Amino acid sequence: MTERCLSGAGKAMQLWKAYARSKSAVFGLVFLVGLALAAAFAGYIFHVNPELPDLAKDRVPPSFEHWFGTDYLGRDQLVLIVYGARPSLIIAFTAGALLSVLGTLTGVLAGYFGGRIDGFIMRTADVFLTIPTLPLVILVVALMGPNLFNVMLIIGLTGWPVMARIVRADTLSLMKREFIEIERVMGASIRRILFMHLLPNQLNSILVYTSLSIPVVILTEAGLEFLGLTPLSISWGFMLNTSISYWISGAWWLSFFPGLAIFSTALAFYFVSDGLKEALNPKAKRRRESLVVQLATRK
Amino acid sequence: MAVAIALIFVVGTLNFVLVHLVPGGPGAILLNNPRMSPSAKDAVLRSFGLDKPLQEQYVLYLAGLVTGNWGTSYFFLEPAFDVIASRIPATLLLMVPSLILTILIGIVLGVLAARRPFTYVDRFLSAFSFFFYAMPAFWLGFVLLTVFALFLDVLPAAGMSSITVSGFDMIDYLRHLILPMTTLTLVNIANFSLLVRASLVEVLDQNYITTARGKGLPERLVFYRHALRNGLLPTVTMIGLFVGFILTGAILTETVFSWPGLGLLTFDSILRRDYPIVLGLFFIFSVMIIASNLVTDLIYGLLDPRITYD
Amino acid sequence: MRSKILLVSCVVLLSILQIGMTGIAQQQKILVVAITGEPEITELNPVRMTTTYYTAEAYPGLIGWDKDGVVVPDLAKTWDISPDGLTYTFHLRDGLKWSDGQPLTSDDVLFTIKMLTEQSEFWYYLWAPIQVPKAATVTGYAIMPGAVTTPDPQTVVMKLPSPSATFFINAAGWSVLPRHYYEGMNLTAGNPDLSTYVASGPFIPREKVAGDRLVYVANPNYYSGKPALDEVIFKVYRDSTAADIALESGEAGMFPNVPGQDVPALQKVPNLQIGTEQNQVNIYITFNHHQKLADGSTNPVSKLEVRKAIAMSVDLDNILNSSLNGYYKLANQIQVSNMGYLGKSVTNTSIPTPEYPYDPAVAAKLLDAAGYPADASGNRMSLSFVMSSGGRTGSTSSLKMMQLIQSRLQAVGIKLDLIVLDEASARQRIRLQAPPKDWNMALWSISSSPDPDTNAYFMVSTLAGNGDAGGWNVGGYFNPIVNDLTVLGENTTGVDKRVAIYQRISGIAHDELAVLELYYQTEVLAWNKMFQGFILGLGNPMHDYWGALKAQSLAQVTLVEATSTTSTTETSSMTPGTGFDYTTIGAVVVVLVIVIGAAVFLARRRSAKKT
């Protein structure tokens, strides 16, 4: 393990330099930050109530006045898309965080304790991996009622096994290191080992894999909205849902822009995660592998 | 093997519990006729075995899973097993070609990229995979449908077979298959080819490859004779993983294209609260995934002389 | 190896596209009707079905209706009603046959009444006037002894203990079922086998492919003669857009439920014809009339002033025009505008259209007076509104309509929380939930029978538990006068008296705003011009209760030209059967196994050689 004897600011600069080597990573980051800011301050940017219908402008095609055209209620789509970023980004982060925390904790505990606990945790993870996520999510949302909280919860709850596996593998390899052995012999508490040694050394990986799982969260959430399983609100997936009925009347922009938004955001997160992986991974020898490889091959 | 079976039972139990947590119980949907007398309601519940105590229902359910008695569908009023079984061919007809195509094209692309890393081919592959990894399948399907079924009118808009055809017509089936299969495979090809490429690259780093090169063997021989064979081994296990992905993808794809398979049935049955079917479907999905994992593990074992199974 | 794969795939691709391009004439006269909801198999089971949508072609009744709603003979060629209104005599046509050749006689009529009375929870009420309680049956009822007699194979006599205005339409309009087919079948536990289905109407349901289609074949024994079409297929599409596409491409021949906003696009297609008709579906917003909701909160809409304010806050004509693209009829009372009794309209002409004028200012004042003043940000109250999304991808015209209404209500300070649920959840929440229920308003609808009793009974009465959980009076509106009037209406046979009763009920419902009327449905149908003969009229030819019209309509449809559009395919060149070609599939599997096995074998050998 390379010790970096740099100050905090220096470290950050180095990190940024490594990250910025990839054009796409920077682009993705800029896009996301811009989107998040626009979504957060949408009220100030657009001085219009996004939900207010204006029948006179029913389904106006993209024009100078309305860059993305208007929807079936006459509402400007650019405004809708920006507001629609809110649920997507919120769910992306919260479900991602939930998934990450859950996965990390279980992975670390499995790796640390080994034996029966490890077996139990991994078997549970296997169960979740065996049930295909989408039907399970649909089932739970249909049963428990469509509200954003349930959606966040269930996406987070079904996403942890993959994370757990990776963290467990990392933990296991860390456990073999001498300094852990020393700590244990000295009688250090679990909490100390966990929070001072095991977790900090995996922070990089955890960050990377969390950001990798976010595109999937976004797509799953959009999928649920598309299937009509979420409450009525301004969201990209739901815009796609309602757009289908109007498509035959020629209003292609109703479905094109929301789909483009979903796609771009997922792509941006993917770029960012790839960039993070490049920047944080100390082994410079590894070339541009997909993170999914490691996800798949770590058994 | 034993693990696999235990897994199936655990999954089955989980589903059972989930379904019975619903307010009103799973049978609520059967009682929605306002003119039903209480005695009739009891009769209906009885005919579906819902009046029995929970533990008994659970045992019957587990036993039924294994023997193929999955209860009677609330919607179709036919044995759930029959309903699901009748839809399996349709899903397989979509999944299997997609899987094969994903594997073949994925391997081809991955090999191409690994052969000439960091050239345009490789970069194209990266871009291609990024693109489709982030692509919402239902949007892609819908766009394809628009272009080919509406604007160009060369491919059918929905379903698996045309009305005028009775029995099984290969050409007609293929015409209906193109769009859904394309949607389903594009996303997975991108992913799969990257995996292939990555594992090949890793192999190319190995010592024995350097040795072979040092021996003066031509690059082509090195690549195809040595690297390829060893590099492709991990992809076998990945195939097991992809069966799961394709299964999940099938649900959304079948919805967009009205392909009458299990995916559509899943979604519809959940919305209709047709629990016998839902439970049976989840069981089938788990079985498929576990089975494919087992099969790929076995094949991997066969291929890799280093591994033995006791 | 790679190039070989490429070559093969190119060849396959080319051959597919090429074959797809050639248009080949259809061998059979088949009408494909696009539908957007999957028919449950129970809808072909007489005891369990909940609409006559799918059996109308198979089972005509004693009487039918023409496109203007006038009763016409169907299986019965004439009938007599005694002056005291207690005896109904029906004379069947001569030579009626079932599709399997057996004669259709009065015995089948008797059997039908008996079977449905005793076994069908949904339909037994049709013969309520001639029923007595009997605990042993599924429904708890049986026919009054001697009420239905069959003096000869062509005659059925029904005797009532007291006059009933609804009996004729209910009893005579209903299907006649074959005794020799259904006798002994346990229809509560299972469904009839479609491959042996016996029918008397123009088309017999022959095959149902789950999730895909319902196939009807022509009945050569139909008394009006064999239909011109050989087959009618109801094909299921995911939503109206897919159905539109299918219609345009020629894959579907008819689409009976075109949403208003799709019409302009379809009008541009040269070989499509579009027609409209006024059916009898009434769409309205139902108010929850309980003073407190299930969670204990006070329910503002239980106050008449609040309901009036809501009615005056929405400019319905504009809203409906925009959501339905003009295809609707503005509603103002609970009876649909084309409802009548024996030729006389039951419309209460003193009720204005629209029901209440659009006047947000007055609405605001009403709300103030009712005790709901606006706060600093202009909000007065929050109301919950439940609606069904209408299926897999939903019907967005209802959604659009409700979103517009939502914004209008917001303008007067009423915050409407729109809860859109899937059908099952919506049904549970709106209808099956026990009163007082947990919502303030809901979107609801009813499809009328050809008798004014239906809307009065189901919309605003609480008779027979209609206001309880599972009842159709989902808002729980209760007015004992309305209940009494409804009962009176069922028993009054004199035309003028009866019409006056229903006009009065409509008036009361309007005065008390039992429901907020939205619109009567205008059905838009589109079909390929090569099919002619559809009868458009009072009811949707595909609709509930107008089954006879529908059957007549389909029976008369002819295929004008046999040449097809680009998307037909040749009939099967492989084994024509109903299953898959297992030989091909088996061969493919065998080949795959051999290939994989060889690859594995070779790989092992080579790597073993290497080490």
ipTM of the complex in this document: 0.80
For residue C436, cis peptide bond before it (omega within 30 degrees of 0): yes
Chains touching B by CB (3 or more pairs below 8 Å)? A, C
Is B14 an interface residue toward A (CB < 8 Å)? yes
Distances B167 to C197, C505, C574 between C-alpha atoms, Å: 21, 56, 8
Q: Averaged over C208-215, what is the pLDDT?
A: 81
Dump pLDDT digits (tens) for C277-326. 888 889 999 999 999 998 889 999 999 999 999 999 999 999 999 999 99
Distance, in angstroms, between B153 CA and closest chain A CA? Answer: 14
The torsion defined by the Cα of B6, B11, B15 and B16, in degrees rounded to 10, comes to 0
Distances B302 to A2, A127, A135, B292, C432 between C-alpha atoms, Å: 41, 26, 33, 15, 58
* CB-CB under 8 Å, A72 with C389: no
User: How many Cα atoms within 13 Å fall on the side-chain side of residue B235?
Assistant: 27
Name the more confident of B15 and C408: C408
Q: Enumerate residues 256 to 285 of chain B having a beta carbon within 8 A of any beta carbon in chain A.
A: 266-267, 270-271, 273, 278, 281-282, 285
Instruction: Please indicate, yes or no, if residue A21 is contained in any of the structural domains.
Output: no
Name the more confident of A274 and B121: A274
Task: Give chain C's mean pLDDT.
Answer: 82
Q: Residue A241: give the domain boundaries.
A: 33-298
Q: Which of C63-67, C138-142, C349-353 has the lowest mean pLDDT?
A: C63-67
Structure confidence at residue C25 (pLDDT): 35
Is C68 an interface residue toward B (CB < 8 Å)? no
Query: In this structure, are residues A69 and A61 in contact, taking their beta carbons and an 8 Å threshold?
Result: yes
Q: For B62, list phi and psi in degrees, rounded to 5.
A: -60, -45
Structure confidence at residue C1 (pLDDT): 46
Mutating which of A297, A298, A299 best tests the B interface, going by the most B Cβ atoms within 10 A?
A297
Going by C-beta distance under 8 Å and a sequence separation of 6 or more, which residues neighbour residue A274?
A22, A24, A25, A291, B130
Mutating which of C384, C385, C403, C417 best tests the A interface, going by the most A Cβ atoms within 10 A?
C403
Q: Averaged over C242-258, what is the pLDDT?
A: 84
Whole-number Å distance between alpha carbons of C421 and C431: 13
Query: In this structure, are residues C205 and C194 in contact, taking their beta carbons and an 8 Å threshold?
Result: yes
Count up the domains in chain A and report the number.
1
Structure confidence at residue B90 (pLDDT): 83
Instruction: Please indicate, yes or no, if residue A10 is contained in any of the structural domains.
Output: no
Q: For C493, list phi and psi in degrees, rounded to 5.
A: -105, -20
Structure confidence at residue C291 (pLDDT): 92
Instruction: Please indicate, yes or no, if residue A27 is contained in any of the structural domains.
Output: no
* CB-CB under 8 Å, B247 with A132: yes
Name the more confident of C117 and B45: C117
Instruction: Please indicate, yes or no, if residue A206 is contained in any of the structural domains.
Output: yes
Q: pTM to 2 decimals?
A: 0.82
* CB-CB under 8 Å, B165 with C572: yes
Q: Of all helices (H) and strands (E), which one includes residue C255?
A: strand C254-255
Is A72 an interface residue toward C (CB < 8 Å)? yes
Q: Which of C30, C432, C608 is nearest residue B163 as measured by Cβ atoms?
A: C30
Dump pLDDT digits (tens) for A169-209. 778 877 777 677 777 777 767 677 667 777 777 787 788 88
* In the predicted structure, residue C604 carries a pLDDT above the cut 60: no
Whole-number Å distance between alpha carbons of B214 and C387: 74
As its CATH architecture, domain B82-303 has Orthogonal Bundle (1.10)
Distance, in angstroms, between B180 CA and closest chain C CA? Answer: 14
Share of chain A above pLDDT 70, in %: 89
Tokens of A114: 């080994």
Q: Averaged over C212-234, what is the pLDDT?
A: 90
Is B10 an interface residue toward A (CB < 8 Å)? yes
Q: Of all helices (H) and strands (E), which one includes residue C78?
A: strand C76-81
Structure confidence at residue C17 (pLDDT): 44
Structure confidence at residue C356 (pLDDT): 93
Is A228 an interface residue toward C (CB < 8 Å)? yes
* CB-CB under 8 Å, C239 with A53: no
Query: In this structure, are residues C20 and C14 in contact, taking their beta carbons and an 8 Å threshold?
Result: no
Q: Averaged over C463-480, what is the pLDDT?
A: 89
Instruction: Please indicate, yes or no, if residue A122 is contained in any of the structural domains.
Output: yes
* CB-CB under 8 Å, C407 with A51: yes
Task: Give chain A's mean pLDDT.
Answer: 79
Name the pLDDT band for C18 (thresholds 50, 70, 90).
very low
Q: Averaged over C433-445, what is the pLDDT?
A: 92
Contact residues on chain C for A73, CB-CB shorter than 8 A: 400, 403-404
Q: Which of A227, A231, A247 is nearest residue C241 as measured by Cβ atoms?
A: A247
The torsion defined by the Cα of A280, A283, A287 and A292, in degrees rounded to 10, comes to -60
Distance, in angstroms, between A251 CA and closest chain B CA? Answer: 12
**CB pairs < 8 Å spanning A and C:** 63
Distance, in angstroms, between A187 CA and closest chain B CA? Answer: 36
Query: In this structure, are residues C221 and C97 in contact, taking their beta carbons and an 8 Å threshold?
Result: yes
Q: Looking at residue A112, which CATH number applies to its domain?
A: 1.10.3720.10
Name the more confident of B104 and C67: B104
* CB-CB under 8 Å, A215 with B285: no
* In the predicted structure, residue C78 carries a pLDDT above the cut 90: yes
Name the more confident of A115 and C83: C83
Dump pLDDT digits (tens) for A23-62. 878 888 899 999 999 998 888 888 888 888 888 888 888 8
Q: Which of A140, A223, A289 is nearest residue B252 as measured by Cβ atoms?
A: A223
Q: Averaged over C95-111, what is the pLDDT?
A: 94
Q: Which of C41, C121, C245 is nearest residue B76 as measured by Cβ atoms?
A: C41
* CB-CB under 8 Å, A127 with B7: yes
Q: Averaged over A116-127, what is the pLDDT?
A: 81
Residue burial B162-195, b: 16+ Cβ < 10 Å; e: rest: bbbbebbbebbbbbbbbbbbbbbbbbbbbbbbbb
* CB-CB under 8 Å, C611 with B167: no
Closest alpha carbon within chain B to C9: B101
Nearest to C521 by CA among C288, C272, C257: C257
Contact residues on chain B for A140, CB-CB shorter than 8 A: 18
Chains touching A by CB (3 or more pairs below 8 Å)? B, C
Distance, in angstroms, between C306 CA and closest chain A CA? Answer: 23
Closest alpha carbon within chain C to A71: C400
Mutating which of A120, A140, A219 best tests the B interface, going by the most B Cβ atoms within 10 A?
A219
Is A47 an interface residue toward B (CB < 8 Å)? no
Distance, in angstroms, between C278 CA and closest chain B CA? Answer: 28
Is C36 an interface residue toward A (CB < 8 Å)? no
Dump pLDDT digits (tens) for C506-540. 999 999 999 999 999 888 989 999 888 888 876 54
Distance, in angstroms, between A11 CA and closest chain B CA? Answer: 29
Structure confidence at residue C441 (pLDDT): 96
Residue extents of the structural domains in chain B: 2-67, 82-303
Structure confidence at residue B189 (pLDDT): 84
Structure confidence at residue B72 (pLDDT): 75
The distance of Cα C430 from the centroid of its chain, to the nearest Å, equals 18
Q: Averaged over C356-365, what is the pLDDT?
A: 93
Contact residues on chain B for C587, CB-CB shorter than 8 A: none
Structure confidence at residue A228 (pLDDT): 76
Going by C-beta distance under 8 Å and a sequence separation of 6 or more, which residues neighbour residue C143?
C113, C114, C117, C127, C130, C131, C132
Q: Which of C236, C470, C573 is nearest residue B34 as measured by Cβ atoms?
A: C470
Instruction: Please indicate, yes or no, if residue A119 is contained in any of the structural domains.
Output: yes
Most confident of A148-152, A269-273, C292-296, C418-422: C292-296
For residue A200, cis peptide bond before it (omega within 30 degrees of 0): no
Contact residues on chain C for A229, CB-CB shorter than 8 A: 422
Whole-number Å distance between alpha carbons of C556 and C552: 6
Q: Which of C26, C211, C600 is nearest residue B299 as measured by Cβ atoms?
A: C600
